[in-house]
Amino acid sequence: MVNTAVNIGCIPLKNPVIAASGTFGYGLEFSPLLDLNELGGIVVKGLSLKPFPGNPPPRIMETTGGMLNSIGLQNIGVNSFIKEKLPLLRNYDVAIFVNIFGHTIEEYVRIARRLSEAEGIAGLEVNISCPNIKKGGMSFGKEPKQAGLLTKRIRKATSLPLMIKLTPQASDIADVAKRVEGEGADSISLVNTFLGMAIDVDTATPLLSTITGGLSGPAIKPIALRMVWEVAQKVSIPVVGLGGIASYRDALEFMIAGAQAVQVGTANFINPTMCREIIHGIKEYLKAKHIDDIKQLIGSLNLSGHETTSD
C-alpha cells in the first residue's frame, strides 16, 4: 500500500488532488460521472455575498492548448450555497474548500463570517486573483500590501483555515506570497489564470465580450510550475500548485517543485474523470518507484549539476 495522504496545514487530505474552483461547479454536478469521495478535495465555484450574474457572452474562447474565459464569477451567492449545496456536500467524505471573492475588503470579511457559521467546510480559498471583474478580485492580488491587508482582515473575521489564491499578474508573486503568509494565511494556491486575449481577424473584433480574459489549460503549465517552484522556496506555509495540470505526471511535477497538493482545473472540462485518473496515475507511479509515502516527493527537486540563472 502506498500512502497518498497529505496535509495542507491542519487540513488532512486523503490524496493531493483537488478539483479547482470554477471548473467543478458546486461539486455535485460531477456526481453522476465520478465518486466525489475519491477526491482529495473540491474547491467550489467562487462565491460572493449576493448572487452575481456574471459577464455578457461570449465568455470563452479556445486557444492553442488552452482557453480564455471571462465568466465574471457568476454564482448563486453565499446564502444559497449554504442552504442548497452544502447540506448535500456534507454527505461526502471529501475536503470542501469554499472560494470567496468580493469587491471590497468588507465584502470578503462578511462572506468569511457567514461561512464560519456553516458546517462542513474544511477551509476558505480567498480569490484575490480573478482577472474578470472590474472591482476587487485581482486588484487585491497584484499588490503585496493590498493582499496583506485583506488577509489580515479576513484572518480576524474567521477561524477557518485560509488558502490565498494568487494571481500570476503580480509583478513579484513570491513577494505577495510572503506578505499573506505574514498576515496569517494558512496556505497559498497558485496560479489563477493569465490575462490574455484573442481577436477575430475577419471582423477585427475581440472574441470575448470583455476584450481580455483569463488563460488556462496546458498552455500555461510551464509558467505556473516555475512560479510554484519559486514561491515554495520562499514561504514555509503549504503551497497548492495549479495551472494546466492534465495528467498525473503534470501533477507530480508540481509536487516535486514543492507543492503539498495540486488543483486540477480546465482538464475537468476535457475529461470529467480527470481527477480520478490523476489519482490513479500517482498511485501507480509510487508503486512502480517503490515510494511508500507521497510526502517523500514533495519538494524533492534534484538540482545537483544544475545552475539557476537568477542572482
Partner 1 sequence: MKDSKTKIVFNQEVAPACFRMVLSGPLDNFIIKPGQFIMLRLGMSYDPLLRRPFATHRFKTPEGVFLDIFYQVVGYGTHIMSHMLPGTELALLGPLGKGFEFSDTLSTALIVAGGMGIVPLRGLIYSLVESGTKNIQIFVGAKSTSQLLFLTEFQGMDIPVHCATEDGSSGYHGLVTELFHRFLDNHAFNAANHTMCFACGPRPMLAKTASLSVNYQLPCQVSLESRMACGIGVCLGCAVKLKRQTHHDQDQKKYGRVCIEGPVFDAKEIEW
- How far apart (Å, rounded) are the C-alpha atoms in residues 20 and 42? 7
Cell triple for 292: 511508500
51 binds partner 1 (CB under 8 A): yes
- How far apart (Å, rounded) are the C-alpha atoms in residues 74 and 49? 12
Residue 237 CB, nearest approach to partner 1 (Å): 29
- How far apart (Å, rounded) are the C-alpha atoms in residues 221 and 138? 20
Cell triple for 71: 465568466
- How far apart (Å, rounded) are the C-alpha atoms in residues 211 and 55? 11
Strand pairing class (187-190; 194-197):
unpaired
- Specify the DSSP element, H or E, that contains 139: helix 138-141
Q: Tell me if residue 10 is catalytic.
A: no
Which of 33, 88, 199, 211 is the binder for partner 1 (CB under 8 A)? 33
Name which of 120 and 272 has its Cβ closer to partner 1: 272
DSSP labels for 289-311? TT-SBGGGTTT----TT---S--
Name which of 269 and 285 has its Cβ closer to partner 1: 269
How many angstroms separate the Cα of 308 from the Cα of each of 170, 174, 226, 280, 304?
Answer: 22, 17, 12, 33, 11
Of 8-16, 25-33, 93-101, 281-289, the window that binds partner 1 (rule: CB under 8 A) is: 25-33
Of 2-10, 24-32, 102-110, 121-129, the window that binds partner 1 (rule: CB under 8 A) is: 24-32
Here's the x/- map for partner 1, 218-247, by CB under 8 A: it reads as: x---------------------------x-
Strand, helix or coil at 48? Answer: coil
Of 16-24, 107-115, 150-158, 192-200, the window that binds partner 1 (rule: CB under 8 A) is: 16-24
Is the Cβ–Cβ distance between 59 and 209 less than 8 Å? yes
Please identify which of the residues 13, 130, 162, 246 carries the catalytic annotation. Answer: 130
53 binds partner 1 (CB under 8 A): yes
Which of 8, 18, 24, 102 is the binder for partner 1 (CB under 8 A)? 24
65 binds partner 1 (CB under 8 A): yes
Of 8-16, 23-31, 128-136, 288-296, the window that binds partner 1 (rule: CB under 8 A) is: 23-31
Name which of 45 and 142 has its Cβ closer to partner 1: 45
Which residue, chain included where needed, has cell 480569490? Answer: 127
Q: Cis bond leading into 191, ω under 30°?
A: yes
How far, rounded to the nearest angstrom, does the alpha carbon of residue 98 sit from its chain's CA centroid? Answer: 11
Which of 272, 281, 283, 301 is the binder for partner 1 (CB under 8 A)? 272
Of 160-168, 195-203, 264-272, 298-306, the window that binds partner 1 (rule: CB under 8 A) is: 264-272
Which of 7, 74, 80, 212 is the binder for partner 1 (CB under 8 A)? 74
172 binds partner 1 (CB under 8 A): no
Among 260, 29, 271, residue whose Cα is nearest residue 123 = 260
Catalytic residues: 130
* Binding residues for partner 1 (CB under 8 A): 22-25, 29-30, 32-33, 45, 51, 53-54, 56-62, 64-67, 69, 71, 74, 217-218, 246, 266, 268-273
